Amino acid sequence: DISLKSVKNVTTKGFYTDVNVERENDFGDSLEKGWNLRFIPSFGMSTNILAANIAPRISIDKNAEERDEKIDFLHTYLKIESEFIGIEAGKTSGWWGPGRNGAWLLTNNAAPFTMIRLYNPLPYSIAYLGAFKFNIFYGRTSEQIINFNDLNGRRTKKERPHFGGIRLNSGFSSSFEAGASMTAMFSGRNSLSASDVKEVFFPKNSAVNREGTEGPITDRIASIDLV
Protein backbone atom coordinates (compact mmCIF):
# COMPACT_ATOMS: atom_id res chain seq x y z
CA ASP A 1 0.00 0.00 0.00
CA ILE A 2 1.74 3.17 -1.21
CA SER A 3 0.10 6.55 -0.78
CA LEU A 4 1.55 9.65 -2.41
CA LYS A 5 1.51 13.06 -0.74
CA SER A 6 2.86 16.34 -2.15
CA VAL A 7 3.81 19.51 -0.30
CA LYS A 8 4.17 22.96 -1.82
CA ASN A 9 4.55 26.23 0.06
CA VAL A 10 6.42 29.52 -0.13
CA THR A 11 7.96 31.37 2.82
CA THR A 12 8.59 35.10 2.41
CA LYS A 13 10.70 37.16 4.81
CA GLY A 14 11.69 40.82 4.83
CA PHE A 15 14.30 42.57 7.00
CA TYR A 16 15.87 45.96 7.42
CA THR A 17 19.10 46.42 9.36
CA ASP A 18 21.52 49.29 10.01
CA VAL A 19 24.54 46.96 10.06
CA ASN A 20 25.63 43.66 8.52
CA VAL A 21 24.42 40.81 10.74
CA GLU A 22 24.12 37.02 10.78
CA ARG A 23 20.69 35.77 11.82
CA GLU A 24 20.58 33.23 14.64
CA ASN A 25 19.23 29.75 13.86
CA ASP A 26 18.54 30.61 10.22
CA PHE A 27 20.80 28.28 8.25
CA GLY A 28 23.77 30.60 7.88
CA ASP A 29 21.78 33.54 6.54
CA SER A 30 23.69 36.85 6.55
CA LEU A 31 21.90 40.17 6.21
CA GLU A 32 23.56 43.16 4.60
CA LYS A 33 22.99 46.73 5.71
CA GLY A 34 19.72 47.93 4.18
CA TRP A 35 16.72 45.97 2.91
CA ASN A 36 16.86 42.18 2.67
CA LEU A 37 14.20 39.91 1.14
CA ARG A 38 14.00 36.12 1.25
CA PHE A 39 11.76 33.90 -0.89
CA ILE A 40 11.85 30.18 -0.03
CA PRO A 41 9.62 27.97 -2.18
CA SER A 42 9.47 24.37 -0.94
CA PHE A 43 8.47 21.39 -3.06
CA GLY A 44 8.20 17.87 -1.70
CA MET A 45 6.62 14.48 -2.10
CA SER A 46 6.35 11.42 0.11
CA THR A 47 5.11 7.87 0.13
CA ASN A 48 5.14 5.33 2.94
CA ILE A 49 8.85 4.66 2.39
CA LEU A 50 10.16 7.47 0.18
CA ALA A 51 10.36 11.24 0.64
CA ALA A 52 11.99 14.03 -1.34
CA ASN A 53 12.23 17.78 -0.78
CA ILE A 54 13.80 20.78 -2.46
CA ALA A 55 13.79 24.28 -0.95
CA PRO A 56 15.83 26.99 -2.72
CA ARG A 57 16.39 30.26 -0.86
CA ILE A 58 16.28 33.32 -3.11
CA SER A 59 18.01 36.27 -1.42
CA ILE A 60 17.69 39.88 -2.55
CA ASP A 61 19.83 42.36 -0.60
CA LYS A 62 19.70 46.05 -1.40
CA ASN A 63 21.91 48.67 0.19
CA ALA A 64 22.64 52.23 -0.84
CA GLU A 65 25.33 51.20 -3.35
CA GLU A 66 24.03 48.12 -5.14
CA ARG A 67 21.52 45.30 -5.33
CA ASP A 68 22.75 41.74 -4.81
CA GLU A 69 20.82 38.58 -5.70
CA LYS A 70 21.75 34.96 -5.01
CA ILE A 71 20.22 31.50 -4.74
CA ASP A 72 21.25 28.75 -2.36
CA PHE A 73 19.47 25.64 -1.11
CA LEU A 74 18.23 25.03 2.43
CA HIS A 75 17.02 21.46 1.91
CA THR A 76 17.53 19.20 -1.07
CA TYR A 77 17.30 15.57 -0.10
CA LEU A 78 16.01 12.12 -0.91
CA LYS A 79 15.02 9.90 2.01
CA ILE A 80 14.13 6.21 2.20
CA GLU A 81 12.97 4.84 5.52
CA SER A 82 11.13 1.95 7.08
CA GLU A 83 10.06 1.37 10.64
CA PHE A 84 13.54 0.05 11.47
CA ILE A 85 16.09 1.97 9.39
CA GLY A 86 16.36 5.15 7.34
CA ILE A 87 18.88 6.56 4.86
CA GLU A 88 18.96 10.16 3.63
CA ALA A 89 21.16 11.77 0.98
CA GLY A 90 21.35 15.39 -0.08
CA LYS A 91 21.82 18.83 1.40
CA THR A 92 20.41 19.31 4.88
CA SER A 93 21.33 20.30 8.45
CA GLY A 94 21.30 18.69 11.89
CA TRP A 95 20.43 19.57 15.46
CA TRP A 96 22.35 17.48 17.98
CA GLY A 97 21.84 18.36 21.59
CA PRO A 98 19.64 18.26 24.62
CA GLY A 99 16.65 20.22 23.37
CA ARG A 100 15.12 22.74 20.99
CA ASN A 101 16.62 25.69 22.90
CA GLY A 102 20.21 24.54 22.65
CA ALA A 103 22.57 22.07 21.00
CA TRP A 104 26.20 21.17 21.59
CA LEU A 105 27.56 20.18 18.20
CA LEU A 106 25.20 20.62 15.25
CA THR A 107 22.72 23.47 14.94
CA ASN A 108 20.89 25.33 12.18
CA ASN A 109 23.12 28.37 12.71
CA ALA A 110 25.36 26.89 10.01
CA ALA A 111 24.39 26.57 6.39
CA PRO A 112 23.17 23.09 5.36
CA PHE A 113 25.80 20.84 3.81
CA THR A 114 25.84 17.83 1.51
CA MET A 115 25.77 14.54 3.42
CA ILE A 116 24.56 10.98 3.56
CA ARG A 117 22.89 9.94 6.83
CA LEU A 118 21.93 6.60 8.40
CA TYR A 119 19.48 6.55 11.32
CA ASN A 120 16.57 4.71 12.94
CA PRO A 121 13.27 6.62 12.60
CA LEU A 122 11.70 4.86 15.59
CA PRO A 123 13.66 3.98 18.75
CA TYR A 124 14.79 0.40 19.33
CA SER A 125 13.81 -1.06 22.68
CA ILE A 126 17.06 -2.47 24.12
CA ALA A 127 17.56 -3.96 27.57
CA TYR A 128 19.34 -1.55 29.97
CA LEU A 129 19.40 1.18 27.26
CA GLY A 130 15.69 1.87 26.97
CA ALA A 131 14.52 3.59 23.78
CA PHE A 132 17.73 3.66 21.74
CA LYS A 133 18.34 5.85 18.68
CA PHE A 134 21.40 6.44 16.51
CA ASN A 135 22.48 8.94 13.85
CA ILE A 136 25.54 8.54 11.62
CA PHE A 137 26.43 10.97 8.84
CA TYR A 138 29.24 11.68 6.40
CA GLY A 139 29.73 14.69 4.14
CA ARG A 140 32.18 17.28 2.84
CA THR A 141 32.60 20.92 3.86
CA SER A 142 33.46 23.87 1.62
CA GLU A 143 36.97 24.11 0.20
CA GLN A 144 39.60 25.63 2.48
CA ILE A 145 43.33 25.88 3.04
CA ILE A 146 44.66 23.25 5.47
CA ASN A 147 47.95 23.82 7.31
CA PHE A 148 49.54 20.77 8.93
CA ASN A 149 52.79 19.10 9.95
CA ASP A 150 54.15 15.79 8.74
CA LEU A 151 57.50 14.01 8.92
CA ASN A 152 58.87 16.37 6.23
CA GLY A 153 57.90 19.55 8.09
CA ARG A 154 55.22 22.18 7.61
CA ARG A 155 52.85 21.72 4.65
CA THR A 156 49.79 23.37 3.13
CA LYS A 157 47.06 22.02 0.84
CA LYS A 158 43.71 23.18 -0.49
CA GLU A 159 40.85 20.71 -0.05
CA ARG A 160 37.24 20.13 0.95
CA PRO A 161 37.67 18.39 4.34
CA HIS A 162 35.64 15.31 5.17
CA PHE A 163 33.01 15.82 7.85
CA GLY A 164 31.34 13.05 9.83
CA GLY A 165 29.53 12.40 13.06
CA ILE A 166 27.99 9.79 15.34
CA ARG A 167 25.21 10.34 17.88
CA LEU A 168 23.75 7.73 20.25
CA ASN A 169 20.68 8.54 22.29
CA SER A 170 18.81 6.53 24.95
CA GLY A 171 15.54 7.34 26.68
CA PHE A 172 15.74 5.42 29.94
CA SER A 173 12.34 6.69 31.06
CA SER A 174 9.80 9.38 30.25
CA SER A 175 11.74 11.79 32.50
CA PHE A 176 15.39 10.86 31.81
CA GLU A 177 17.29 10.80 28.52
CA ALA A 178 21.01 10.64 27.75
CA GLY A 179 22.93 11.32 24.56
CA ALA A 180 26.55 11.10 23.40
CA SER A 181 27.78 12.78 20.22
CA MET A 182 31.01 13.26 18.31
CA THR A 183 31.70 15.18 15.11
CA ALA A 184 35.00 15.47 13.26
CA MET A 185 36.46 17.32 10.31
CA PHE A 186 39.33 15.28 8.92
CA SER A 187 41.70 14.77 6.02
CA GLY A 188 44.66 12.59 5.13
CA ARG A 189 48.12 14.08 4.89
CA ASN A 190 48.33 12.61 1.39
CA SER A 191 45.36 10.35 0.64
CA LEU A 192 42.78 9.25 3.20
CA SER A 193 42.85 5.53 3.99
CA ALA A 194 40.27 3.32 5.71
CA SER A 195 42.57 3.04 8.74
CA ASP A 196 42.69 6.86 8.93
CA VAL A 197 38.88 7.03 9.06
CA LYS A 198 38.82 4.35 11.76
CA GLU A 199 41.35 6.30 13.80
CA VAL A 200 39.34 9.51 13.49
CA PHE A 201 36.28 8.03 15.20
CA PHE A 202 37.91 5.31 17.32
CA PRO A 203 41.32 6.75 18.29
CA LYS A 204 43.91 4.68 20.15
CA ASN A 205 45.99 6.04 23.02
CA SER A 206 48.79 6.93 20.61
CA ALA A 207 46.50 8.77 18.19
CA VAL A 208 47.04 12.24 19.69
CA ASN A 209 50.83 11.99 19.28
CA ARG A 210 50.60 10.51 15.77
CA GLU A 211 48.19 13.17 14.54
CA GLY A 212 50.90 15.79 15.06
CA THR A 213 53.08 14.30 12.31
CA GLU A 214 51.73 11.20 10.56
CA GLY A 215 48.12 10.31 11.47
CA PRO A 216 44.99 11.82 9.90
CA ILE A 217 44.53 15.59 10.21
CA THR A 218 41.62 15.74 12.61
CA ASP A 219 39.53 18.24 14.55
CA ARG A 220 37.15 16.38 16.89
CA ILE A 221 34.45 17.69 19.19
CA ALA A 222 32.50 15.40 21.54
CA SER A 223 29.69 16.01 24.01
CA ILE A 224 27.42 14.26 26.49
CA ASP A 225 23.95 15.59 27.31
CA LEU A 226 21.46 14.59 29.98
CA VAL A 227 17.84 15.70 30.04
Which tens digits make up the pLDDT trace of 167-217? 999 988 878 888 899 999 999 888 888 888 888 888 877 666 666 777 888
Residue 82, CA distances (Å) to 49, 86, 122, 153 in order: 6, 6, 9, 50
What is the rounded distance in angstroms from the CA atom of residue 29 to the CA atom of residue 35? 14
- Given a contact cutoff of 8 angstroms between Cβ atoms, the answer to whether 41 and 85 are in contact is no
Helix intervals (H) in the chain: 194-201, 207-210
The span from the first CA to the last CA of the chain, in angstroms, equals 38
pLDDT in tens, 71-118: 888 889 999 999 899 999 999 888 776 655 556 678 888 788 889 999
- pTM listed for this prediction: 0.81
